[in-house]
Amino acid sequence: MYRYDEFDHQLVGERVKQFRGQVERRVSGELTEDAFKPLRLMNGVYLQLHAYMLRVAIPYGTLSSKQMRMQAHIARKYDRGYGHFTTRQNIQFNWPALDKIPDLLEELATVEMHAIQTSGNCIRNVTSDQYAAAIDGEIEDPRIISEIIRQWSTFHPEFTYLPRKFKIAVTGHDNDRAAIKLHDIGIVIKQNELGDVGYEIHVGGGQGRTPFIAKKMADFVPKAQLLAYLEAVMRVYNMLGRRDNSYKARIKIMVHETGEVEMRRLIEAEFAKIDASQMLAVPQAEIDRISAYFASPEFENLPATSATLDAAQAQDADFARWVRANVVAHKQHGYGIVNISLKPIGGVPGDATDVQMEAVADLAERYSFDEIRVTHEQNLVLPHIRLDDLKTVYDALNAHELATANLGLISDTIACPGLDYCNLANARSIPLAQEISERFADLDQQYDIGELKIKISGCINACGHHHVGHIGILGVDKKGTEFYQISLGGSADENASIGTITGRAFTEETIVDAIETVVTTYTDMRQTDERFIDTYRRVGLDPFKERLYAE
Amino acid sequence: MAQHSSKGARFQAVTANRLSDGEVVYLSPDNQWAETFAAADIADGPEAGDALMARALPADFELHVLEPYLFEVLQDGTQYKPASVREIIRAAGPTVRLDLGKQADAKRES
Ligand code: HEM
Ligand code: SF4
């Protein structure tokens, strides 16, 4: 895991001190809210409906147990005993007092974490694959290049005042779990015929008001040239991105308006200008230093199967179901990747209490080489668990209500905070997620329905990724009352697509019935082994529309 | 800032978030920032609304609160209540955590 060097420590320490001064000046009246607001946002402090909210960055979604324990500590000491894991692999605290936030940040810095660049028009926290370094078929651990990008982009003078915020995601695997085509820049690590490692670059994806799937701008950027290429993209954007209208300022709009071909030409022209001699090549020593932090854990040589596991599964049907739903094959024989669902039936998607966070930290420390991952689907992962230990880990998770066996199923919903917390919301998201999971609480029914991703946003900002839900739900406001629009056919994986709106919005009372109608339309029409998204792609929107709006 | 009152709104109150901790507060008849909607001053008619808003903005208001605004209130028998779901939630707390926010304080007190 990456450790701060002296420079990082100093930087973060100074930033906390600076923010403490800014808070003091705001409280004393020296700073107006207009002057202070951008400063607090740069430090991850938002104002929500009931209180301030602090967003803490979890670089590429990787946490050590010590860092997770600190989140628990913060939840207990500065908040109301819980935190919310977000679709950007970060964690948000919903109730910190402004005057205590500098103390909070100081404590956070002791575990090498901060809230910088979680807001504002800068390059945001780089996100990545939660199965990094654990999944078979990965070309390279995506966190190495994520960390290099993080260092390059942090406080980069050219990129602190971008036209708009900028999000980068990296995957080292062909199965995209990082939604890279929905980011301003998405990077896929590739290997060419010669065996060299390089990068496929996608530019201009995004959600929000105007969703776009990113366009592929380069098939293979050689390893040494990645930062130069990214710099070229950023320069083109910085020069031509629209600053006149914040709705049009994202690079996705620029790619769309400029056109894919012209955009590629502009980037390549800029790339050619960057002198090869000062190519921003990261020195090999630095790459080695960073790579060393992500060295593979010392796995034991184990057989591919575990008699202990087989016996436990035979004895405990619930455990067997959980293994089937939530444990993914590991690249190393004798290990498994454990997904911890933060979507208990009727619960708040992504929320975890201080006690739960500590339980996960303990398990990571004892059984998973001290590593925890946060997924963009708002779950947690213990990446390296011995098959022999699965039952022990399951029992411990189960004791903390962390063993719901619903990964990728209809109740594994993404939901933004919505109108229960968010200042920008039109409608609530969380209660819908809760009602849907209760409606489909029966796990056997969920397994029968199969993979189905419901994603809910409380407004068009799309924090809940509704555009790319197999079923997307968007909250809209009509004269102070909540309504919900359904879209179908979105997807955030390597076959990314934007969903299509079905039609007229539903009320709070009718939306869950409508979701059930969509699901039964699918189960009635599906062919053998067809997932929801496959059926939708085969039959299209019309059959769903007919059933939804039949009088 | 979005519009928090409809065009024909008759009753309005002023709300903001307290600077120190973000707590939702309401301007009271004696020009204090009170923690409960029940303590809010209610303006009847657009002119009274403007006058109420003006009282929320003395020269030093930023020492106490941020982003004060008028929002629509409905008369409900002898009581008032916020018109929008948003303001109902602000006045009570998250609907998914009844143990948190003002609704929880109210329960503790009663
Ligand atoms: C008070 C809380 C929040 C505020 C004020 C907020 C604000 C915003 C805004 C304004 C946008 C649109 C930006 C744009 O279109 O350029 C946005 C997008 C987004 N937010 Fe949030 N957000 C909040 C909470 C969250 C949470 C909890 C999550 C994760 C669950 C999240 C994840 C995202 C994502 C993934 C996007 C889409 C980015 C894109 O356009 O590609 N946000 N947010
Ligand atoms: S989608 Fe809208 S309602 Fe949901 S968190 Fe984002 S800004 Fe708030």
Instruction: For residues A360 and A324, state if they share a domain.
Output: yes
Tens-place pLDDT, residues A381-401:
999 999 999 999 999 999 999
Instruction: For residues A256 and A184, state if they share a domain.
Output: yes
Residue B18 resides in a domain: yes
| CA–CA separation, A470 and A62 (whole Å) | 27
Q: Which residues have CB under 8 Å from B65's CB, separation 6+? A: B16, B17, B18, B19, B25, B33
Q: Which residues have CB under 8 Å from A126's CB, separation 6+? A: A59, A60, A146, A147, A149, A150, A153, A168, A169, A170
Question: What are the DSSP calls for A422-455, one per residue?
Answer: -TT-SS-SHHHHHHHHHHT--HHHHHHH-S--EE
Q: Which residues numbered 2-41 in B keep a CB inside 8 Å of some CB on A?
A: 6, 17, 19-24
pLDDT for A491 equals 94
| CA–CA separation, B98 and A375 (whole Å) | 28
Tens-place pLDDT, residues A40-80:
998 999 999 999 999 998 988 999 999 999 999 999 999 99
Residue A123 resides in a domain: no
Q: Which residue is associated with the tokens 């006045």?
A: B91
Distance A115 CA to ligand 1 centre (A): 15
pLDDT of residue A362 exceeding 90: yes
Q: Which residues have CB under 8 Å from A519's CB, separation 6+? A: A410, A440, A449, A452, A532
Q: How confident is the model at residue A313 (pLDDT cuts 50, 70, 90)?
A: very high
Number of domains in chain A: 4
ipTM for the predicted complex comes to 0.94
Instruction: Test B20 with A52 for CB contact under 8 angstroms.
Output: no
C-beta A49 within 6 A of ligand 2? no
Owning domain of residue B64: 11-109
Which among B60, B62, B94 is the nearest to A421, CB-wise? B94
C-beta A458 within 6 A of ligand 2? yes
pLDDT for B17 equals 97
Give the residue, out of A461, A465, A474, with the most ligand 1 atoms within 8 A of its beta carbon, to mutate for a pocket test. A461
Instruction: For residues A259 and A138, state if they share a domain.
Output: yes
| CA–CA separation, A10 and A23 (whole Å) | 20
Q: Environment class of residue B12 by beta-carbon count within 10 Å: exposed (0-12), middle (13-18) or buried (19+)?
A: buried
Instruction: Test B89 with A420 for CB contact under 8 angstroms.
Output: yes
How close B32 comes to chain A (CA, Å)?
18
Residue A232 resides in a domain: yes
The mean pLDDT of A450-464, rounded to a whole number, is 96
C-beta A172 within 6 A of ligand 1? no
Instruction: For residues A265 and A146, state if they share a domain.
Output: yes
What residue in B sits closest to A46 (Cα-Cα)? B22
pLDDT of residue A419 exceeding 70: yes
pLDDT of residue A95 exceeding 80: yes
Q: Which residues numbered 342-371 in A keep a CB inside 8 Å of some CB on B?
A: 348
Q: Does A428 touch chain B (CB under 8 A)?
A: yes
Distance A463 CA to ligand 2 centre (A): 5
pLDDT of residue A282 exceeding 90: no
CA-closest residue to ligand 1 atom 36 = A463
> What secondary structure letter does DSSP report for A411?
T
Distance B17 CA to ligand 2 centre (A): 19
A vs B, Cβ pairs < 8 A, gives: 78
Instruction: For residues A459 and A539, state if they share a domain.
Output: yes
Residue B65 resides in a domain: yes
Tens-place pLDDT, residues A260-271:
999 999 999 999
3-state secondary structure A255-310: HHHHCHHHHHHHHHHHHHHCCHHHCCCCCHHHHHHHHHHCCCCCCCCCCCCCHHHH
C-beta A308 within 6 A of ligand 2? no
pLDDT for A241 equals 64
The mean pLDDT of A143-165, rounded to a whole number, is 77
Owning domain of residue A150: 134-293
Instruction: Test A95 with B66 for CB contact under 8 angstroms.
Output: no
Q: pTM, whole model, 2 decimals?
A: 0.93
Instruction: For residues A167 and A23, state if they share a domain.
Output: no
Residue A122 resides in a domain: no
Residue A100's SS3 state is helix
pLDDT of residue A245 exceeding 80: no
C-beta A212 within 6 A of ligand 1? no
Q: Which residues pair with A487 in a beta bridge?
A: A472, A501
pLDDT higher for A286 or A248?
A: A286
C-beta A217 within 6 A of ligand 1? no
C-beta A461 within 6 A of ligand 2? yes
| Cα A454 → chain centroid | 15
Residue B92 resides in a domain: yes
Q: Does B58 touch chain A (CB under 8 A)?
A: no
- Least confident stretch, A32-36, A157-161, A292-296, A515-519: A157-161
Instruction: For residues A138 and A287, state if they share a domain.
Output: yes
pLDDT higher for B40 or A289?
A: B40
Distance B102 CA to ligand 2 centre (A): 22
Instruction: For residues A144 and A284, state if they share a domain.
Output: yes
Instruction: Test A348 with B83 for CB contact under 8 angstroms.
Output: no
Best probe of the A interface among B84, B96, B97, by most A CBs < 10 A, is B96
Best probe of the B interface among A28, A49, A424, A476, by most B CBs < 10 A, is A49
pLDDT of residue B1 exceeding 50: no
Which among B17, B96, B100 is the nearest to A430, CB-wise? B96
Instruction: Test A419 with B89 for CB contact under 8 angstroms.
Output: yes
Residue A128 resides in a domain: no
Residue B6 resides in a domain: no
Q: Does B84 touch chain A (CB under 8 A)?
A: yes
Tens-place pLDDT, residues A325-339:
999 999 999 999 999
What residue in A sits closest to B4 (Cα-Cα)? A480
Residue A215 resides in a domain: yes
Which among A80, A428, A480 is the nearest to B84, CB-wise? A480
Q: Does A34 touch chain B (CB under 8 A)?
A: no
Residue A129 resides in a domain: no
Question: What backbone torsions phi and psi does residue A408 show, to the nearest 5 degrees?
Answer: 75, 5
C-beta A350 within 6 A of ligand 2? no
Instruction: Test A49 with B83 for CB contact under 8 angstroms.
Output: no
Which among A50, A420, A479 is the nearest to B96, CB-wise? A420
Number of domains in chain B: 1
Instruction: For residues A434 and A523, state if they share a domain.
Output: yes
The one-letter code for the residue type at A513 is D
Q: Indicate the residue among A77, A110, A143 that finishes a domain.
A: A110
Ligand nearest to the CA of A348: 1
Tens-place pLDDT, residues A476-528:
998 878 999 999 999 999 999 999 999 999 999 999 999 999 999 999 999 99
Instruction: Test A420 with B83 for CB contact under 8 angstroms.
Output: no
Instruction: For residues A193 and A341, state if they share a domain.
Output: no
Tens-place pLDDT, residues B41-62:
999 999 999 999 999 999 899 9
Instruction: For residues A81 and A143, state if they share a domain.
Output: no
* Cα A98 to Cα A94, A104, A116, B66, distances in angstroms: 12, 10, 16, 12
Handedness of CA B41, B46, B51, B57 (dihedral sign): positive
pLDDT for A62 equals 93
CA-closest residue to ligand 2 atom 2 = A459
What residue in A sits closest to B9 (Cα-Cα)? A479
Best probe of the A interface among B65, B85, B88, B99, by most A CBs < 10 A, is B85
Instruction: For residues A339 and A246, state if they share a domain.
Output: no
**CATH code at A255?**
3.30.413.10
C-beta A425 within 6 A of ligand 2? yes
pLDDT for A116 equals 78
CB atoms within 10 A of CB B63: 12
Mean pLDDT estimate for chain A:
92
